[in-house]
Chain A
Amino acid sequence: MSAGWTREQMAARAAQDIPDGACVNLGIGIPELVAGFVPEGREFIYHTENGLLGMGPPPAENERDLDLMNAGKKYVTAVPGAAYFHHADSFSMIRGGHIDVCVLGTMQVAANGDIANWSTGAPGAIPAVGGAMDLVQGVKRIYVITQHTTRNGDPKLVERCSYPLTGPGVVSRIYTDLAVVDVTDDGFRVVELAPGVDFEEVKNKTGASILPSD
């Protein structure tokens, strides 16, 4: 068994790569944890699809405002300097290339940067896409945070996604429990290994060829 990174450590590692002043959209799940690890001296501005730039942390239960939610339908707060706007403006921020970084979870990500994170495509499944396809096409940098493998041990970093795509060739960097991995013209390349993890382990748990760090 490897040591590797916890969910919080993966989120903290991703936060290190977000520049000061960036407008950031965080997906549901581990990506939400990024907000708790803003590096000293930096400020991130959080965008949520349902019309808020300047999203703050969740309120205490007795301070909830029923009209103040995030795109995950959770109650949130607005920081001083926040702005509200309608849905077309919100997605103009996304589709118009005004959001700097989006951090997403995924089911699969491929060596060419394809991402599949909205549907298994299984018969009878109810498809639900939300804003995922808009985010991956519109945001300047797409980062993915994910466990390196599924609960069954199947690789989530693959040669080609077998699930329906959210978008082709859009992911630039992946943070897993084992490593930070870049999507390059030559496919996956390890940027950094988690403590106690060696390249062989990452290679064995990756479903595509992967290059060691320089």
Chain B
Amino acid sequence: MIDKQVLSVSEAVADIPEGATVMVGGFGASGSPIELLHALIDQGVKNLTVINNNTGNGEVGLAALIGNGQVRKMICSFPRSSQSKVFPQLYKEGKIELELVPQGTLAERIRAAGAGIPAFYTPTTVGTVLAEGKEVREFDGRDHVMEPWLKADYALIKCEVADPLGNLTYNKTARNFGPIMCMAATTTIVQTKKLVARGEIDPEHVITPGIFVNRIVEVPDPVHEDTLIAAGRRFP
């Protein structure tokens, strides 16, 4: 019987090696896999390239991973926000790299990787500094830039309900990058609020089919980034 469950977050992230590229689900606070991120901080691996829409908030979760010196490069669309301090500071000191990607291009590059499409053309960024150095081609009389797929070695994702096969459902806007990141990583690690027996998720309701998921760890009462920040928490 296929069973992708692992018993702890530390076991789930134990093999992520030096220099790995890691996708981290979530958009701002919603959908951020805080427990997996904190396990990765405990694990201590360095020189990571991290793909996320943002760069974390406060000094927990993704921001804490960055603050702990484990991230060499961020690939994201919006690296600052009212509560993000860690990345902006390191960036100004020249201690972390940034690849800025428009949000829709970021999502589509991830989706393309998961779908086996090495590149695509889009009008997004045409005529802007972010198109510099990119191949331009005309379709229907309009310029488009070529964008390559964006793959990862690992994805860390938070979901609502999972079964042992890795079928997933999400909760509201916490879904965001989860389904496409699950598709685009070689090894997808998912923390789920609830793990149910196979057959308990209606096949009509599956959002991420289990084929895209490698490891499931149950985190029944996940913390939320905003709650931690409001409580003044820091990690580690």
Contact = CB atoms under 8 A, between A and B. Distances in A.
A31 to B, nearest CB: 17
B177 A87 contact: yes
Nearest to B81: A73
A129 B78 contact: yes
A169 B142 CA distance: 12
A69 B28 contact: yes
A66 B30 contact: yes
B104 A138 contact: yes
A129 B127 CA distance: 14
A50 B126 CA distance: 23
Contacts of B79: 126-128
Interface in B157-189: 170-180
B62 to A, nearest CB: 14
Given A94-B104, A164-B129, A84 B80 contact: no
B180 A87 contact: yes
B88 interface: yes
Nearest to A128: B78
A142 B53 CA distance: 24
A48 B133 CA distance: 31
Interface string A59-76: 000000111111101000
B180 A88 contact: yes
Given A88-B108, A128-B80, A131-B104, A51 B88 contact: no
B172 A86 contact: no
B130 interface: yes
B92 A68 contact: no
B56 interface: no
Contact of B103 (A49, A86, A121, A127): A49
B128 A50 contact: no
A129 B227 CA distance: 27
A149 to B, nearest CB: 24
B105 interface: yes
A129 B77 contact: yes
Contacts of A69: 27-30, 173
Contacts of B107: 86-88, 90-91
Contacts of A52: 172-173
Contact of B172 (A65, A114, A130): A65
A126 B88 contact: yes
A159 B110 CA distance: 38
Interface in B126-152: 126-130
A70 to B, nearest CB: 8
B46 interface: no
B226 interface: yes
A134 B28 contact: no
A81 to B, nearest CB: 15
B92 A134 contact: no
Contact of A134 (B80, B88, B103): B103
A30 interface: no
A124 B98 CA distance: 13
Interface of A: 48-52, 65-71, 73, 78, 84-88, 90-91, 94-95, 114, 121, 124, 126-134, 137-138, 164-169
26 contacts: A50-B27, A51-B175, A65-B172, A66-B224, A67-B31, A69-B30, A70-B173, A73-B27, A85-B175, A86-B177, A87-B27, A87-B53, A87-B103, A91-B108, A95-B124, A124-B92, A128-B80, A129-B103, A129-B130, A130-B77, A130-B78, A130-B102, A132-B102, A137-B126, A166-B128, A168-B128
Given A87-B53, A88-B111, A168-B128, 20 more contacts: A49-B103, A51-B176, A66-B29, A67-B171, A68-B30, A68-B172, A69-B27, A69-B30, A84-B170, A88-B108, A88-B179, A91-B104, A95-B122, A126-B88, A126-B91, A127-B98, A129-B77, A130-B102, A133-B130, A138-B104
Top 5 closest A-B pairs, CB basis?
A134-B104, A91-B104, A168-B127, A131-B103, A88-B111
